[in-house]
Amino acid sequence: MDLGLGGRGYLLTGASRGLGFAAARALVDDGARVLVSSRTPDSVARAAGELGGPPHAFGTTADLADPAAAGRLVTEGREQLGRLDGALVSVGGPAPGTVLDSSEEDWRAAVDSVLLGTLRLVRALVPVLGEGAAIGLVLSTSVREPIPHLAISNGLRPGLAMTAKSLATELGPRGIRVFGLLPGRIATDRILDIDGRSADPDAARRAAEAAIPLARYGRPEEFGRVAAFCLSPAASYLTGVMLPVDGGMLQGLW
């Protein structure tokens, strides 16, 4: 299937590694051009290089917690790519912890980057997007079911999901689509780090895999291909959805 991505331009945040990078890889493999960003200059440069560099992939440094980042990313995206057909917004996940032991400082940091960082980028982006564009938010299965020891994610993601749903309704008449992706356990640094915090990381992984019908963690490229499809013109009638990419882990249908 031709996804229709050839020549299109996409902005990806949190994309020097992990899920954002995997999505960038899938987009570039199907002919799109990307601007990838994260907070660390070396990581961004390496990621853009691994994606083939200009004219296929450009990199820029941006911390989504910085209020100035959104406008700058959109300006650079238009300059480097010549056009912007959408974005995949991924941000480093909130600090782990329970409701009672998560500090107010950790909540505030997550609100600044995960919540406000995403909102600011979307608001900067929408005015420059045209019909056929798409915005994807990388969220979590915590949109639908709380994850133990990820209280801040459990608190913020459902609100972002409903915000994305509202935005899909607002932007639908302009032909701009909005969707959320709900990764379960995809084997990125983030997930390996969370497992690594337990007393027995291998046992933690085996226990997590036992709760996944496909009986394994997902591979980043499996997530990346879903993201690229959802962003592409091939998904032109898909909007306002929260799509689990979780090997069947979520048990409820809705």
Ligand X SMILES: NC(=O)c1ccc[n+]([C@@H]2O[C@H](COP(=O)([O-])OP(=O)(O)OC[C@H]3O[C@@H](n4cnc5c(N)ncnc54)[C@H](OP(=O)(O)O)[C@@H]3O)[C@@H](O)[C@H]2O)c1
Q: Which residues lie near ligand X (CB under 6 A)?
A: 13-20, 38-40, 43, 62-65, 90-93, 113, 138, 140, 183, 185-186, 188-191
Of 150 and 171, nearer to ligand X (C-beta) is 150
DSSP 41: H
Residues whose CB falls within 8 Å of the CB of residue 84, separated by 6 or more in sequence, listed in order: 9, 10, 11, 74, 77, 78, 125, 128, 129, 133
Considering the complex, state which of residue 76 and residue 233 has its C-beta at the smaller distance from ligand X: 76
Output the smallest distance, CB 205 to ligand X, in A. Answer: 12
Output the CA torsion sign for 130, 131, 132, 134: positive
Least spacing, CB of residue 175 vs ligand X, in Å = 27
Q: Between residues 116 and 234, which has the closer beta carbon with respect to ligand X?
A: 116
CA 20 → CA 16, 89, 145, distances in Å? 7, 8, 23
Considering the complex, what minimum distance in angstroms separates the CB of residue 120 from ligand X?
A: 11
Minimum Å gap between C-beta 101 and ligand X is: 18
DSSP, collapsed to helix, strand or coil, labels residue 132 as: coil
Name the residue nearer to ligand X (CB basis): 4 or 158: 158
Are 227 and 26 spatial neighbours (Cβ–Cβ below 8 Å)? yes
Question: 187 or 234: whose CB is closer to ligand X?
Answer: 187
The CB-of-144 to ligand X minimum distance in angstroms stands at 12
Q: Which two tokens stand for residue 205?
A: 């992984």
